[in-house]
Amino acid sequence: MGIPVGKLALYTACGGIPPGQTLPITLDVGTNNPTLLADPLYLGTPEKRIEGKEYDDLVQEFVEAVSEVFPKALLQFEDFANHNAFRLLEKYRNEICTFNDDIQGTASSPWPGFIPRAASPGASSRRSHTLPRRGEAAIGIGDLVVGAMMAEGLTKEQAKARCWFMDSKSLVDSSRTDLQDHKKPYAHKHSHGPVPTLLDAVKAVKPTALIGVSGQAQQFTKEIIEEMARLNKRPLIFALSNPTSNAECSAEQAYELSEGRAIFCSGSPFPTYVYKGQTFVPGQGNNAYIFPGVGLGVVATASTRVTDEMFSEAARALALLVTEEDLKKGALFPPLTKIREISARIAEAVAEVCYKRGLATEPRRRTCARRSRRCSISRSTRITSDGRRRPGRSVVRFDSRP
């Protein structure tokens, strides 16, 4: 229960959503761990994990129950295995108001780090990005990058051609016959021959950005960072795996091996680093910047769906809050001390998408304007058929006063 409780705590702490309006849920489908199965104190279901149709039927029953009891609820999926996460998201995203934070929330969190660099010397969107390893976050990031490039005028195929992936075996390319379905859209043709290692991929693809979501420490070796620095005036090194001990490289390694030229971002916090008299503030691309504001905007408008466009706009809204002073220090994100204001701005951007696409079921309020400065939440009450008062919806109001 630690994961859903922790996520909902962030909705409250970062987004201001009342805890009474949230509900943590864990689906216990058994375990294949023999030690747990033999443990008389194990609190879960002491049976082997269900799979296939039985598993799908359980999830379907759960989704139907949520939709019946809480018809305007936002259902967030978290920590599902790759083969289930993508499949369930595709199955339900157009049926109910839902999203998968591992795929969409984590994907959008590092993207603001790209946007402030778009017009900077040495950072060209015409170059490619290499995203190594793991399925959920990496493919989600790729999809978001493609959407952002399309918004800038590229076709979908042109945008996809600029995103390359590495998995545990080799570079993802069209010659491979062992690819899972979610990787196939990014399997490109190339003339480099076999590309078995990440260093080989960097030399072959020549990326502007290297994004690590492998969950494995020190994947960005000395040779890889030096090659990125040779290829780019300001290489983007995003070591996003958590916790800090699993980061693909440290902030110190990124700055030292690039001679202070790297734009570094991590999933967990790294301390400030001084290189040749210049102080760098490592960026932290944590999805706590994104999903509380997205959820706030969705709940405030009672949106019927959650779309990728909402996450793209959330990332763009976050990027606009990065100041020139932040960038001079190497910080790609605004300080977390302003997270309530950040979440309110993101919620506002998400709400605009909800109204623009006809997904909102709550009426637009006059105070939900582009120049809003503050956000407040109040809870209404409703009268049941037997005359009793019951808690109603939480209403989010954006105050446009300075």
pLDDT tens track for 261-282: 998 988 888 999 999 988 888 8
Is pLDDT larger for residue 213 or for residue 228?
228
Boundaries of every domain in the chain: 2-106+288-356, 110-285
Provide, rounded to the nearest whole percent, the portion of the chain with pLDDT above 90.
Answer: 45
Dihedral in degrees, nearest 10, Cα atoms 308, 312, 314, 316: -170
Mean pLDDT of 326-341: 82
Residue 201 has pLDDT above 80, yes or no: yes
pLDDT of residue 115: 59
In this prediction the pTM is 0.74
**What DSSP state is assigned to residue 333?**
S
Residue 27 has pLDDT above 80, yes or no: yes
SS3 275: strand
Q: What is the CATH class of 110-285?
A: alpha beta
**Cα(291)–Cα(140) distance, rounded to whole angstroms?**
14
Binning pLDDT at 50, 70 and 90, where does residue 91 land? very high
Binning pLDDT at 50, 70 and 90, where does residue 371 land? very low
Is pLDDT larger for residue 372 or for residue 138?
138
Please report, as a single letter, which amino acid is at residue 241. S
Structure tokens at 351: 């709400």
Mean pLDDT of 114-134: 50
CA distances from 242 to 50, 76, 137, 247, 249 (A): 29, 20, 12, 6, 11
Relative orientation angle of helices 291-301 and 308-320, to the nearest 10 degrees: 120
Question: What CATH fold (topology level) applies to the domain 2-106+288-356?
Answer: Rossmann fold (3.40.50)
Answer yes or no: same fold for 2-106+288-356 and 110-285: yes
**Cα(44)–Cα(311) distance, rounded to whole angstroms?**
34
| Residue pair 132/165 in contact by the 8 Å Cβ criterion | yes
Mean pLDDT, the chain, integer:
83
CA distances from 137 to 79, 211, 287, 306 (A): 11, 10, 11, 17
Tens of pLDDT, residue by residue over 110-119, are 666 665 444 3
Mean pLDDT of 308-326: 87
Relative orientation angle of helices 291-301 and 2-15, to the nearest 10 degrees: 70
